[in-house]
Structure 1
Amino acid sequence: MKGIYKFFNDVQLDKKEFIELDVSDFEKAQVKKRLKQSLKKKKKRVKRWRQIAVAMLFMGLSGAIIGYTFPAHAGSIPIVKNIFQFIDGDRSFLYENYKEFSTAIELSEMSKGVEITINDALYDGETIFITYSLKSKKKLGDQLRIHDTSSSLKDADGMAWGSEIKRVDDYNYVGLLTVGNFGTNVGDTAYLVWNIDKILMEKSNTIINGHWRFAFSVEATSKYTQIVNKSSSLDGINVTIRQITHTPMSTIVYVRQQLDQHILDYWDNIDLDFTMTDDMGNNYDGLNHGGRGYPNDIRTGKTFGKVDERATTLKIMPHVRLMKSSVNDDEPIEEKNAFGETVVRNRAVEVEDFKEINLEPIVIELKE
């Protein structure tokens, strides 16, 4: 974005020639995005070489600083290369190809000495992944939490937001925001507004009150959906694989869970999960989606990494954990958390019964 601002500084304008009009945040974001793409195409070659030289210098300096702090991740320095892989080493396989297919957003907001930048976004048709970086003028400590308010996704009939943030050095942090579980109304273009009003430094229990607001859109990646509708049932539990969607960087499995009434009458916590393998000997793990629907009929899913191109079949193994519990008679306690929100501390829970059920695997022939 700095290149755009520099470009504007060199342009001579007569303010009297223009009439200022109100535009939405989405329109502003789209103008910035198109302008940046246009500038990239029109730049002269000599400027291109100058930018490459500056970028190489920046990468060298950043690599020396951040590589010293995290030597094991020097090949995936987040500010320079790939936040997707850096943010969660345990699930780095899931984000292996995400950077390649993400869209550069590059929107920044400064407030109270803290600059937050939306770097990249990726929308696979089910979940939106957004990488961001945070730069502070003072040390903020090892552990941060971001508090957002009045954030929204256009046309969504339900959302689940989740954010992870990691320290790079004393003044820099990177994060990954995931937005999902929003039904089928969003379409192939997702329009988001993300409002941040507080940053919590957990160790010192100190809050920075500010205002960081972002509005942008992101297009869904190309995808192919295979309708499956194959089921496995046991003891009043029915699991149906509805469909599988393949994208350039992921495999999304959509599931329907149906329960008989006697299951709901006895058990008060029912947790469905499933694992996936293929005929090439690969074992896949992934990220669960939130569920939606009614207690006896829930639609959910899971995002896995990209399936081996040599595979011809997938085997999905559903397993369900059932728990019956009770609580004591003590009154719940209301208290305020670090953000000043009123929360209710749950009463003590005692597990009375627990059961795990492994359903028969569901085998799916992959279509080319």
Structure 2
Amino acid sequence: MKDIYELLNDVDLDENEYKEMEVSEWEKAQIKKTVKRSIKKRKAKRWKKNVVTAAIVTGLSVATFGLTFPTHASNVPIIGDIFRFLDNGRTGLYENYKEYSTEMNLSQESNGIKVTINDAVYDGKTVSLTFSLESDRDLGDDPYLEGNLDILETSGGTGMYHISKVGDSQYVGLITGSTFDGEEKDHVKVKWEIDSILLPTDKNIKGTWDFALALDAPAKDTHIIDQSVEQKGVKVSVGKVSVTPMSLTVYYEQMVSEEIKKKWHAVDVDITIKDDLGNDYSGEGNGGSSDSDNYHINWSKTFEKIDPNATKLIITPHVEMYEYTPENFGGAKVTTEETTEVRIPSKYGKGNEEFVLDDIIVQLK
């Protein structure tokens, strides 16, 4: 499904026609969380030097400057691999991330709550941080740390956040940030500035937990593909794949005919991957961006580590064309003053249509 910005971009809204709805502060926070993680473009902020906690990571070494190295989150139950613990077999993507991450153990404490970054890894596209949290009070089952990963000097991006309670007022979590930039960077500067923790009980705990990191990507092998397949007015082009020691990222583009645009509200393209040895690979999408409309989109998707004996990858595009309905359309505009219902534009395509395009073969060796 498209994110909330993609769903709202082409909506023609009459601001004089709206329906007010009562929503709680927690519900507003959840909408805000979704929107913030879905912004397509934003201005890159300047790198500030007065950040409280900072580290520079080069390969698998860590150096600090002007700081006392923070203490470990010693009271949190020991979980050797937070990546795998939180994934819990859901995708398999994080099976090897711990091996190639750098142990950080950087902590900040504010208002009785200590947040610790445990591990950090950057694969050239996505920054992934595991963290732990200790509190002097119970925060419920699903506290949300208000503050996205800001990958500096990029055009914006998306991310994922997950947290799990592991003890009395003790939590571990994973937060990621993926850039929309088509070109991979070998080195990135990242800020994670948390100014509040949102609770399902409608409470908002204010504080200051600020971190700054500089991360290097591991050595990677990039394969330029430039292969396309087309069917039923939808064209998919795979531009390149990037292989790292712990993952593989595929960059692909979708283009849609004018006839399809007139018929369907939205078109999404996902991809699956297998190799010539019979292995199927799990992955997670990094989102997509578009400079023209919501049909011509540049996507990327990251998959788990590739079998070193594989010589070919088989990439299969899966297309879904669908109608907006109240069930799949995020039709709400929230401001501090009001909540406005968003009208769904009229199209003649009904329900949805799915089909699979021909395979694209990538030679690895």
- TM-score with structure 2 setting the length: 0.74
Equivalent residue number for residue 355 of structure 1: 353
Aligned length: 303
Equivalent pair of 1:85/1:92 in contact (CA under 8 Å): no
Cα drift, residue 253 of structure 1: 1.0
Structure having greater relative contact order (Cα 8 Å, sep ≥ 6): 2
Worse overlay, 119-128 or 97-106: 97-106
In 2: Cα distance, 1:28 partner to 1:285 partner:
33
In 2: Cα distance, 1:145 partner to 1:345 partner:
26
SS in 2 for 1:307: coil
Listed one character per residue, the Cα deviations across residues 148-185 of structure 1 (whole Å, up to 9, x for unaligned) are 27x63211111213211111111210111110133056
In 1: Cα distance, 2:110 partner to 2:341 partner:
33
Which runs of structure 2 are paired with 1:1-368 in the superposition (5 Å)? 24-25=50-51, 29-30=55-56, 33-35=62-64, 66=77, 77-78=78-79, 81-91=80-90, 93-148=92-147, 152-184=150-182, 187-202=185-200, 204-293=201-290, 294-295=292-293, 296-325=295-324, 344=340, 352-367=350-365
Aligned-CA RMSD value? 3.2
Equivalent pair of 1:278/1:314 in contact (CA under 8 Å): yes
C-alpha change, 1:272 and 1:35, in structure 2 (3 Å) is closer
Larger Rg, first or second structure (1 or 2): 1
Equivalent residue number for residue 73 of structure 1: none
In 1: Cα distance, 2:195 partner to 2:270 partner:
35
C-alpha change, 1:258 and 1:169, in structure 2 (3 Å) is same
The amino acid of 1:354's aligned partner reads: N
Cα drift, residue 323 of structure 1: 1.0
Q: Which runs of 5+ in 1 are unaligned?
A: 1-21, 41-54, 67-76
Equivalent pair of 1:124/1:247 in contact (CA under 8 Å): yes
C-alpha change, 1:89 and 1:265, in structure 2 (3 Å) is same
Equivalent pair of 1:155/1:186 in contact (CA under 8 Å): no
In 2: Cα distance, 1:35 partner to 1:230 partner:
45
SS in 2 for 1:139: coil
The amino acid of 2:313's aligned partner reads: L
SS in 1 for 2:154: coil
Listed one character per residue, the Cα deviations across residues 24-82 of structure 1 (whole Å, up to 9, x for unaligned) are 4399534994259xx99xxxxxxxxxxxxxx9xx7xx97xxx5xxxxxxxxxx53xx11
Equivalent pair of 1:105/1:120 in contact (CA under 8 Å): yes
Cα drift, residue 325 of structure 1: 3.2
Listed one character per residue, the Cα deviations across residues 77-127 of structure 1 (whole Å, up to 9, x for unaligned) are 53xx11111112143521111111112232211111000111111110011
C-alpha change, 1:156 and 1:333, in structure 2 (3 Å) is closer
From the two aligned structures, give the one with the greater helix fraction. Answer: 1
C-alpha change, 1:28 and 1:314, in structure 2 (3 Å) is closer
Equivalent pair of 1:26/1:217 in contact (CA under 8 Å): no
- TM-score with structure 1 setting the length: 0.73
In 2: Cα distance, 1:115 partner to 1:341 partner:
34
Identity %: 35
In 2: Cα distance, 1:345 partner to 1:285 partner:
37
Listed one character per residue, the Cα deviations across residues 181-237 of structure 1 (whole Å, up to 9, x for unaligned) are 3305672111111111221221x3322111211111111111110111111110111
Listed one character per residue, the Cα deviations across residues 317-365 of structure 1 (whole Å, up to 9, x for unaligned) are 11111112367xxxx77668xxx89655556899833111211111222
The amino acid of 1:320's aligned partner reads: V
In 1: Cα distance, 2:285 partner to 2:300 partner:
6
